[in-house]
Amino acid sequence: MSNSALQFKDISFHYKNSNENAPEQNVLEKLSFNVKPGEFISIVGPSGSGKSTLFKLITGLEEPSFGDILINGESYDNRLGRVGYMPQQDLLMPWRTILSNAALPLELKGVKQQDAHHQVMGLLEEFGLKGTEHKYPSDLSGGMRQRVSFLRTVLSGSNVLLLDEPFSSLDAITRLTMQEWLLDQWEKWKTTVLFITHDVDEALFLSDRIFVFTKSPVKKLEEVNVPLDRPRKLRDIHHPEVIQLKEHLLDQLRARVEL
């Protein structure tokens, strides 16, 4: 097994400009980093700093202008479908039951509907969704819908999951419950997670490392290691060392916003 779940080697990227005479502005420039299997990485940075662009490159929706992206040590001509992606909004289909929503990635991979449903039924309890199989998305709370969305992402079968601000639309209490729930799930499935968030507390509670996008274009990755053991409790982020780290992160982010 490769000791890298995701590797960026000298990645540069710019969006094509509709005005051919305008200079091309790199969003990422010769960016390199390595994520080890099983790591939980959060990405924080102000609006427009390139977080979503990073995800678009990993999923293969965009191609780098230079450099190489490796998933589990391999470089692919087409990365689409190689990683699991969970968007900010759950994107569940309102006309499909929870069972058939969750089974969708399996069916897309060619698994027979009956087998896909059987597999999902075996997982609903573990995802805190027991008894919801015949309900519709509108019958569920926001937190439960995000659990279905996460189940769907896990069923993509990839060991690398990209989660794009998955809890940002939830109320504060549900959000905290979901953060603890996500850590339990991550420990259970032993996946590698990249998690975009605007919430520094959330990043500190969840992550092994935090990537901070401060300068544009993103060249060298600013990163911090979170000095907390696992399993974690929410109160752990009030540890003096973590509070100091939070101040440091906020200073970095403020410096960028004031540019």
Ligand X SMILES: Nc1ncnc2c1ncn2[C@@H]1O[C@H](COP(=O)(O)OP(=O)(O)OP(=O)(O)O)[C@@H](O)[C@H]1O
Binding residues vs ligand X (CB under 6 A): 15, 27, 45, 47-53
Query: Which residue, 26 or 207, has its beta carbon nearer to ligand X?
Result: 26
Query: Which residue, 72 or 216, has its beta carbon nearer to ligand X?
Result: 216
DSSP 142-160: HHHHHHHHHHHHHTT--SE
Query: Which residue, 51 or 147, has its beta carbon nearer to ligand X?
Result: 51
**Shortest reach from residue 169's CB to ligand X, in Å:** 14
**Shortest reach from residue 224's CB to ligand X, in Å:** 18
Contacts of 167 (CB under 8 A, 6+ apart): 146, 174, 175, 178, 179, 197, 202
| Distance from C-alpha of 78 to C-alpha of 75, rounded to nearest angstrom | 9
Place of tokens 């605007």: 198
**Shortest reach from residue 56's CB to ligand X, in Å:** 7
CB contact at 8 A, 72 and 159: yes
Phi-psi bin for 82: left (phi > 0), alpha (psi -120 to 50), beta? Answer: alpha
**Shortest reach from residue 53's CB to ligand X, in Å:** 3
Question: What is the C-alpha radius of gyration for the chain, rounded to an integer number of angstroms?
Answer: 19
Query: Which residue, 132 or 252, has its beta carbon nearer to ligand X?
Result: 252
Closest CA to 181 of 140, 134, 231, 224: 231
**Shortest reach from residue 50's CB to ligand X, in Å:** 4
Query: Which residue, 181 or 211, has its beta carbon nearer to ligand X?
Result: 211
